[in-house]
Structure 1
Amino acid sequence: MTISYNWLCDYLPVKPTPEELSVILTRIGLEVESLEKFEAIRGSLEGLVIGEVLTVAQHPNADKLRLTTVNTGNGEPLHIVCGAPNVAAGQKVVIAPIGATIYPASGEPLTMKKAKIRGEESHGMICAEDEIGLGSSHDGIMVLDPALTPGTPASEVFKPAQDWVYEIGLTPNRMDAMSHLGVAKDVCAYLNNAENTLSYKALAPEISSLPEAGEKYPISITVENTEACPRYSGVTITGVKIAPSPDWLKNKLLAIGVRPINNIVDITNFILHETGQPLHAFDADAVTGRKVIVKNLPQDTPFVTLDGKERKLDAADLMICNGNGEGMCIAGVFGGLTSGVTDATKNIFLESACFAAASIRPTSFRHGLRTDAAARFEKGVDISGTVYVLRRAAAMICELGGGKIASDFTDIYPQPKAQIEVTTTWSYIKKLSGKAYPAEKVVNILSSLGFTILQQTEEQLQVAVPYSKPDISIPADIVEEIMRIDGLDNIEIPSQVLITPSSNPKPDKEKVREKAANYLASNGFNEIFTNSITNSKYFTPEVLARTVKMINSLSADLDVMRPSMLETGLESVAHNINRRNEDLLFFEFGNTYAVSEDGKFGQTAHLSLYLTGRKIAENWLNKAQPVDFYFLKGYIQNLLQLLGISGAQWTEYEADGLQNGWQISVRNKPVVALGAVSSQKLKQFDIKQAVWFADINWDNVLALLQKSDNFYKEIPKFPAVRRDLALVLDKQVKFSAVEAAAKTVKSALLQQLNLFDVFESEKLGANKKSYAVSFTFQDPQKTLTDKEIDAVMDKLKKAFEGQLQAEIRK
């Protein structure tokens, strides 16, 4: 939110300095993010003076140059070389003496120095208007009023506008501060509180009598959708002359970054930033049938907006229509091309309305029209002020545009809104704020802000909320108003803080997440954050049947909540590959969403890994090695081990988007799904290299950790013993079957088994292969003997022979 210091001071009974005002605004919750000087003319003509040309002579060395002497009211005349063809003795001109800086209309600033021009000294410059930013003409020097006195500062003659501009970090709820008058009311409340008085009040502009036209030009108003438009006011003004705005109005708008257009449009923008109430001016002659109808049009009705684009309307879009039912304006958002004010406009219909926030916000986002008017309507405007603002704007149009009032001030307000009433207690105010405010101070602050005190007792306080503060509805809002006007820094910090010790639930979710993220980041992974809203085109009809769909999607490509982490991650992978960044290790924490058969929405937390490219780049010592399943598997196993999760069970797994997939379960809970991304899914994202994906159900991981206890134990003092076996098996037998068979031999001595070689040959027999497996034995209490180890090995051999029909190679 941008606020002009000069403009704000128009409504203040006292005028703090810009710096003092900056402190006040920040104290009352309107944090000033920046304070910058505004100059209508760069440099504000500082250092330039009025001079009188005394003599003009031909330059001896240049036909187009003149030697002049100029009286600047400061002693000896200045000798200045001038190239302007219109310079003459007796003229009053603008002089830039040595040391002064000029700011051309285009180009960089230039500081005057003593110079020699074609052999003659020059002690400054006689200025043209474009050379000092006063215009664009360079036909010659500026010739001023002969009555001006030499030595007068140029800034006193031209009076260039200067201002200070505040950029306020406005919180979304503060609709009441989205105008200069609204901010002025807050400043006055602060001043009243500081001096314990009610004498400071914002100076709202008074409206003088309005000139009336001899011939009436009535336009009737009908509001069909009173829910979306609870109040609509309008008036017709005839005999308007479209012209540039006066400088004072242009400078106020320029200071806050609004481009002046013409007097009518500038007045509506001025009123918007003065009061916070958006207005819209129609060319009255374009209002067919002299009727304005506020209603909704059928779905996909075409409408050409002011920017020349045709848009298809939604049935929920509220429209301002003419007597033929044709759209003239998207209510509260953007005007139409055919009914707007042009240079040929003579009569206007001026609208001041209140549109429901629930109607404006979806329309604004649906059409991508984020206008100043929509930004205010979607937060709620002061419904009580439409007629006052309409009269204020009409008075300015009559004054600056020569118009006259040609109709009654029509006000359609079928169901007047009752003021919100809030009741709170003094104890609640103290409890929430931490400060015992005197009752007089509380009443003073609330009254200064426009609240009406309905009831005050020893226990409680009841107030009516002003219409200008639609965000206030509960006691906590009242306490917030009191605290910010009195000053948050006025609440004392107690010397002692009394707290009850608390224990965090097990596990600490944030610590577990940080532990996993640190492990992955330290192993070369980069964390990504992708959008939870994605494109429904990525998914099959079966998946979409249980997917959460967006009702008011911002884009056709973002219309569902993601049912899977895979697709949004592949978008990032494709984005990087397309930019020649092909070796990728990504991880992401995120949520997926689904809807159950009974219509309830569900959300699941995930940790997903995406791997593609090379795990080892080619160099003089090694060939390039691409990432593969075992590379991904290693990270998953290490991560589960790091988190203290054991007892993993591996099963083959089929899922949309994966091929040769596996699922890891722990205690019958699915924990990880991993595998290669299918060729169909890669083609969908135009990825031409293999991608490996692991999806960790983070909710299930945390649930497992809640039931697990980790204990430290002493490292065994006695050595471990390794034995190896070569098993000849059928080709279809997986190593997981070997692990399962080994677990049936319940021995505390067997600590680990590892597959260290796979051998296939016709010599082994048809459809056979050989696994070389190592077994590690250890007893923490003593050194193992061969007899003890042999006993366990015999049991293992029998298990492999009996369960897997394995042949033990000698």
Structure 2
Amino acid sequence: MTISYNWLCDYLPVKPAPEELSTILTRIGLEVESLEKFEAIKGSLAGLVIGEVLTAEKHPNADKLKLTTVNTGNGEPLHIVCGAPNVAVGQKVVVAPIGTTIYPAGGEPLTMKKAKIRGEESQGMICAEDEIGLGSSHDGILVLDPSLQPGTPASEIFQPAQDWIYEIGLTPNRMDAMSHIGVARDVCAFLNNLENTHQYQIQLPEIKVLPEAATKLPVSITIENTDACPRYSGISITGIQVAPSPAWLQNKLTAIGVRPINNIVDITNFVLHETGQPLHAFDTAAIKGNAVVVKNLPQNTPFITLDGKERKLDATDLMICNGASEGMCIAGVFGGLHSGVSDSTQNIFLESAFFHAGTIRTTSFRHGLRTDAATRFEKGVDISNVVIALQRAATLICELAGGKAASDITDIYPAVKTKTQVEVTYAYIHKLSGSPYPADKIKNILRHLGFDLLSENETGFRVAVPFSKPDISLPADIVEEIMRIDGLDNIAIPAKVMISPAISAQPDAERVKEKVADYLAANGFHEIFTNSITNSRYFTPEVLEYTVKMMNSLTVELDVMRPSMLETGLESIAHNLNRKNEDLLFFEFGKTYQVQEQRYIENNHLVLYLTGNKTATTWMHPDSVVDFYFLKGFVINILRQLGYSQLQWIEGTDPNLQPAWEIKVKNQVVVTLGGVVPQKLKQFDIKQPVWYATFNWDKILGLLQKSDNFYKEIPRFPAVRRDLALVLDKQVKFAAVETAARSVKSALLQHINLFDIFESEKLGANKKSYAVSFTFLDSQKTLTDKEIDSVMEKLVKTFETQLQAEIRK
């Protein structure tokens, strides 16, 4: 929220220094993020003075230059070389003496120095208007009123606007502070509380009686959707002249970053930032039937907005229509192209209304129209301020645009809203704030904020909340208001803090996550964070059936919560590939979402994405692209780091992966991995292989030991290795061999490793040979050949029975 110091002071009974006011705002919860000086003219003409040209003679060494002497009211006249064709004796001009810095329009600052121009000394500069930022003309020097006195500072003559601009970090609930009057109300309440007085009252602008037009031009108002529009008011004004706004109005808007357009539009913007109430002006010529109807139009009705774009309306979009049911404005969001004020407009209908916050927010996001008006309405404006703001704007239009009221104010308010009531006890205020506020202080703070005290007793009180604070509905909200206005920095910090020691659950989820992240980062992976909201077009109808849809999507491309981590990761890979970052190792911790039996379910995941080369190509290391086994190595190492060694591999069924594998621990699938299929890569225009692994992080943590410390003593006794060569059918995977070996359930068998694969016609049709090593170990004693042979016999028998294997001799 941007606030102007000068503008704010218009409503304050006192004028604190800018820095002091900045401190006050921060103390009352309106944190000032920046305080910057605003200058309508860069440099504010500092150092420039009015001078009188005493002499003007031709330069001896240049045809187009003149030697002048100029009286600047400060001792000896200045000798200045001037190239302007219109310089003449007796003129009053703007002079930049030596040491003065000027700021040309569209140019770099220039500091005056003593100089010699074609052999003649020059002690400054006689200025044109573009050379000092007063305008764009460079036809000649600026010639001023002859009555001006030499030596007068130019800033006193032109009085360039200066201001201080506060950028306030406004929290979403503080719509009451989204206006200068709203902020001024808080400041007055703070000053009254600080000095224990009632003298600081906000200085509200005067609402004058409007001049009446000889010919009336009434416009009827009908509200068909009173839920979306509980209150609507308007007035007709005729005889206006659309023209640029006066300088004071343009300066106020420019200071807060609003571009002046014309007097009518500028007045509506001014009142918006003054009161917080959005307004809209219609050209009466566009109001067919002299009637305004607030209603909804049919689905996909076309409507051309002020920016010239045609938009298809949703049936829930609230519209301001004319008597012919033609849309003139998207209510509270954006005006129409054919009903707005133009240079030829003479009669207007001025609107001020209250619209339902949820309706405006939905429409605003649906059409991507994030306007100042929509921002106010979606947070909830002051319904009691609708007519007051309308009167204020009408007064200014009559004053600045020559208009006259052609109708009375029409105010349609079918169901008058009642104020929210909140009951709170002094004990609760003390408990929540930690401060023993006196009862009188509490009541005075609330009165100065606009609360009505309805009843009170020794233990507490009941108040009615002003309509300007729609966020307040609970006793805790009242405590917040008291603490704010008393000064958040007045909250005492206790010397001792009493806490109970916390016992962290095992396993510590954050420590486990950090451990895995450190491992991956140390091995060249980069962590990414992708959006949980993604595009439904990435998924098949079968997947979308269980996908969480967004009721109020930000854009057409972001309309579902992701059911899978793969697609958002591929977006990030495509983004990098398009920028020639082709060797990528990514990991991400994130969530997926789905609907099952009308229940929303979140699942946590760790995901790996690999593509490109394993390492950068050098003269010692040629290209070596990532593959399934490279991915598999990282997956196994992560599981080992977490203490999982007994892994069961089975072929997966994920349609997006080929090959697809699943890893089970204790009969639960904890990892799915494989290569992303070409059809999926094509969706993201990725032309190189991508390998993918997703860990079901919830199951990983659920199966984890109570301690994540997996250290153990180095065995004192030697391990023994035995090898077997197994002749198998070609379709038998090594995972089947490993599963069969584990089914023997020998405590001595520590490790199984495939160290060679041999294929030859000599083995037989569709046969292959696996060379497998088996490592045995007993931590209590040295193994004997008899013990090892016994286990090997069981293994051989299992392979022959389960896999129809032949043992090569």
TM class by shorter chain equals over 0.9
Partner of 2:744: 745
Partner of 2:126: 126
Distance 2:407 2:267 in 1: 20
CA gap 1:708/1:770 in 2 versus in 1, 3 angstroms = farther
Q: Where do 1:251-290 residues align within 5 Å?
A: 251-290=251-290
Partner of 2:199: 199
Q: CA deviation at 1:662?
A: 1.1
SS at match of 1:121: strand
1:347-371 Cα offsets, whole Å, 9 max, x none, are 1111111111111111111111111
Are residues 1:407 and 2:411 paired?
no
AA aligned opposite 1:534: T
Whether contact under 8 Å (2:512, 2:708) holds in the other structure is no
SS at match of 1:803: helix
SS at match of 1:517: helix
Whether contact under 8 Å (2:333, 2:374) holds in the other structure is yes
Partner of 2:181: 181
SS at match of 2:379: coil
Are residues 1:642 and 2:641 paired?
yes
Partner of 1:782: 781
Q: CA deviation at 1:600?
A: 2.5
1:490-524 Cα offsets, whole Å, 9 max, x none, are 11111121112222223222222222222111111
Partner of 1:449: 449
Partner of 2:62: 62
Q: Where do 1:138-153 residues align within 5 Å?
A: 138-153=138-153
Q: Where do 1:180-329 residues align within 5 Å?
A: 180-329=180-329
Distance 1:34 1:729 in 2: 75
Q: Structure 2: 5+ residue runs without aligned partners?
A: none
Q: Where do 1:763-774 residues align within 5 Å?
A: 763-774=762-773
AA aligned opposite 1:725: L
1:391-419 Cα offsets, whole Å, 9 max, x none, are 11111111111111111111000001100
Moved more, 203-212 or 410-419: 203-212
1:26-68 Cα offsets, whole Å, 9 max, x none, are 1111111111111111111110111111112121122221111
CA gap 1:741/1:304 in 2 versus in 1, 3 angstroms = closer
Moved more, 67-76 or 510-519: 510-519
Distance 1:369 1:258 in 2: 17
AA aligned opposite 1:615: K
Partner of 2:732: 733
AA aligned opposite 1:727: L
Moved more, 511-520 or 474-483: 511-520
Partner of 1:804: 803
Are residues 1:386 and 2:391 paired?
no
Whether contact under 8 Å (1:233, 1:411) holds in the other structure is yes
Distance 1:75 1:621 in 2: 81
Q: CA deviation at 1:743?
A: 2.5
Distance 2:334 2:802 in 1: 77
Q: CA deviation at 1:258?
A: 1.0
Partner of 1:688: 687
Q: CA deviation at 1:728?
A: 2.4
Q: CA deviation at 1:130?
A: 1.3
Distance 2:712 2:303 in 1: 76
Partner of 1:428: 428
Distance 2:705 2:416 in 1: 56
Q: Where do 1:512-591 residues align within 5 Å?
A: 512-591=512-591
AA aligned opposite 1:93: V
Distance 1:243 1:709 in 2: 74
Whether contact under 8 Å (2:5, 2:166) holds in the other structure is yes
Distance 2:71 2:556 in 1: 71
Whether contact under 8 Å (1:654, 1:660) holds in the other structure is no
CA gap 1:642/1:141 in 2 versus in 1, 3 angstroms = same
1:421-468 Cα offsets, whole Å, 9 max, x none, are 111111211121121111111111111111111122222221111110
Distance 2:666 2:252 in 1: 70
Moved more, 449-458 or 44-53: 449-458
Whether contact under 8 Å (2:300, 2:314) holds in the other structure is yes
Q: CA deviation at 1:170?
A: 0.8
SS at match of 1:605: strand
TM-score by length of 1: 0.97
Q: CA deviation at 1:194?
A: 0.7
Q: CA deviation at 1:100?
A: 0.8
Distance 1:307 1:616 in 2: 51
Whether contact under 8 Å (1:50, 1:154) holds in the other structure is yes
Q: CA deviation at 1:268?
A: 0.7
Please, what is the CA RMSD of the aligned residues?
A: 1.7
AA aligned opposite 1:422: V
1:87-142 Cα offsets, whole Å, 9 max, x none, are 12111111111111111122111111111111111111111111111111222212
Whether contact under 8 Å (1:48, 1:154) holds in the other structure is yes
Partner of 2:600: 601
Whether contact under 8 Å (2:648, 2:739) holds in the other structure is no
Q: CA deviation at 1:622?
A: 4.3
Are residues 1:499 and 2:499 paired?
yes
Distance 2:702 2:419 in 1: 50
Distance 1:537 1:706 in 2: 40
Moved more, 641-650 or 158-167: 641-650
Distance 1:617 1:137 in 2: 60
CA gap 1:49/1:710 in 2 versus in 1, 3 angstroms = closer
SS at match of 1:386: helix
Distance 1:9 1:322 in 2: 40
1:128-166 Cα offsets, whole Å, 9 max, x none, are 111111111222212211211111111111111111111
Partner of 1:41: 41
Whether contact under 8 Å (2:642, 2:708) holds in the other structure is no
Q: Structure 1: 5+ residue runs without aligned partners?
A: none
Partner of 1:17: 17
Distance 1:187 1:613 in 2: 60
Q: CA deviation at 1:585?
A: 1.2
1:571-616 Cα offsets, whole Å, 9 max, x none, are 22222223222221111122222222x3322222211111112224
AA aligned opposite 1:663: E
Distance 1:737 1:366 in 2: 54
Partner of 1:626: 625
Distance 2:254 2:432 in 1: 42
Q: CA deviation at 1:420?
A: 0.5
Whether contact under 8 Å (2:507, 2:707) holds in the other structure is no
Distance 1:625 1:88 in 2: 82
Whether contact under 8 Å (1:185, 1:449) holds in the other structure is yes
Distance 2:621 2:123 in 1: 75
Whether contact under 8 Å (1:645, 1:704) holds in the other structure is no
Whether contact under 8 Å (1:197, 1:444) holds in the other structure is no
CA gap 1:296/1:802 in 2 versus in 1, 3 angstroms = closer
Whether contact under 8 Å (1:356, 1:378) holds in the other structure is yes
Distance 1:741 1:308 in 2: 71
Q: CA deviation at 1:549?
A: 2.2
Q: Where do 1:359-374 residues align within 5 Å?
A: 359-374=359-374
Distance 2:799 2:332 in 1: 79
Q: Where do 1:88-99 residues align within 5 Å?
A: 88-99=88-99
Distance 1:459 1:636 in 2: 64
Distance 1:70 1:32 in 2: 47
AA aligned opposite 1:728: V
Whether contact under 8 Å (1:432, 1:479) holds in the other structure is yes
1:213-256 Cα offsets, whole Å, 9 max, x none, are 12211111111111111111111111111122111111111111
SS at match of 2:687: coil
CA gap 1:622/1:152 in 2 versus in 1, 3 angstroms = closer
